[in-house]
DNA sequence: TATAAATATCCCAATACGGTATATTTCGGG
DNA sequence: CCCGAAATATACCGTATTGGGATATTTATA
């Protein structure tokens, strides 16, 4: 999860992000420390919030040959 | 999850996929029916197996303006 | 250095997960 | 058509993982 870096790049706090996404601050913290994993719904919410792709968020080097 | 469609396009069975990924056949079935959600590790395994992006696998319309 | 903001951790009940086993559906050959 | 086999879905169950409230710790600022 590249969450922490992305969030900081946007200069927003865990708390604000959490509130915007109707989550708990500690949940965000746990995602960032890797103590917990987000479900797919949360993952997508986060990606959409920051306008980043899931591959980017999950640090997948975008595979050049893909989709189908 | 666009898993079922992708898998069928490649013409492989749930069982073969499951064995290739060291998973159980019913686990694949559950992902496809939506009864269960894969964790991030499984998700990435599957995307890599089929050489598709996570966004594609999760039916995210690749956001044109993205990644930072 | 005191206070506030930001982030991490503890404990817990609830849920979601995967495995084995089994049922159901799909499909090709006779 | 019908039967058997392959493919897929469902039931049950023990366990692991999750998120929330509360709180501790760290970081920043005045």
Q: Which domains does chain B have, with CATH numbers?
A: 3-57 (1.10.260.40)
Alpha-carbon distance of A54 to B41, in angstroms, equals 13
Distance of B5 CA from D2 C1′ (whole Å) = 31
pLDDT the model gives residue A64: 44
Scan residues 2-61 of A and list those with Cβ closer than 8 Å to B. Answer: 6, 9, 37-40, 43-44, 47-48, 51-56, 58, 60
pLDDT over 50 at B44, yes or no: yes
Task: Render pLDDT for A29-52 as a digit per residue (tens, 0 to 9).
Answer: 999 999 999 999 999 999 999 999
Chain B positions in Cβ-Cβ contact with residue A68 (cut-off 8 Å) = 6, 9, 52, 56
pLDDT the model gives residue B64: 43
Work out the average pLDDT over A49-63.
89
Question: Three-state DSSP class for A32?
Answer: helix
Sign of CA dihedral B2, B21, B54, A44: positive
Rounded percentage of chain A residues whose pLDDT exceeds 90: 84
pTM of the model: 0.90
């Amino acid at each position: 999860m590249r969450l922490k870096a992305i969030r900081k790049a946007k200069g927003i706090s865990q708390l604000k992000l959490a509130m915007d996404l109707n989550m708990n601050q500690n949940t965000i913290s746990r995602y960032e420390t890797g103590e917990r994993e987000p479900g797919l719904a949360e993952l997508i919410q986060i990606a959409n919030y920051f306008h980043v792709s899931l591959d980017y968020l999950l640090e997948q080097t975008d595979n050049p040959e893909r989709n189908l």
